[in-house]
Chains A and B, each alone.
Chain A
């Protein structure tokens, strides 16, 4: 018989603690001053101190812009990887055959 091994982890306790934290956070939030001075720009997104553009499309950071640093830093890893995904049917088959060959050679040598 197999033991139940998730003994140190209880999602219900986690959720209860999470809710308590939310309550504390709300309590701290409610202690703040509700009558702050509204200015012309309050409520606008903060873009490094620049004025926020009027066009809503320009306010949103779109897909490919995120993680560009990560992609750039790992360019040498990503370039061959993306080039490998050619979308060519023959290449899909060749990969299957290569894997087959490697697995069979491995089994032949090791077993």
Chain B
């Protein structure tokens, strides 16, 4: 395997690892903070996925610097990623503030204890 292939596969491999770690935390961790950390890791994995999709070897950033328009990468995935980062900040903040309130009301941040809504 040449180094080129390794560098091509590496980002996607990282995406898979990040998503798996995040999903594991969300599924099996009982601590709410850890669950939210898992979600944040999954967010980063998804963002990395979009950015690595957009990478084209030897192409230029889509800023008008004099390069031919055919040599520029499409900026759509980058726009997606930026939006996703902003949204991720909002959701993480909301989730953490919910956790604070859960701690206040239930005096615990364990998912085993927040089971008052059931059946």
Contacts and interface: CB of A to CB of B under 8 A. Distances in A.
Q: Is the interface of B mostly helix, strand, loop or mixed?
A: loop
Given A87-B117, A88-B111, 17 more contacts: A85-B118, A85-B119, A87-B115, A87-B116, A87-B119, A88-B112, A88-B115, A89-B35, A89-B111, A89-B114, A90-B26, A90-B29, A90-B30, A93-B26, A94-B27, A97-B23, A97-B27
A90 B110 CA distance: 11
B3 interface: no
Contacts of A88: 111-112, 115
Interface of A: 82, 85-90, 93-94, 97
Nearest to B115: A87
Nearest to B113: A88
Contacts of B30: 90
In which size bucket is the chain B interface? 10 to 19
B64 interface: no
Nearest to A87: B118
A90 B31 CA distance: 10
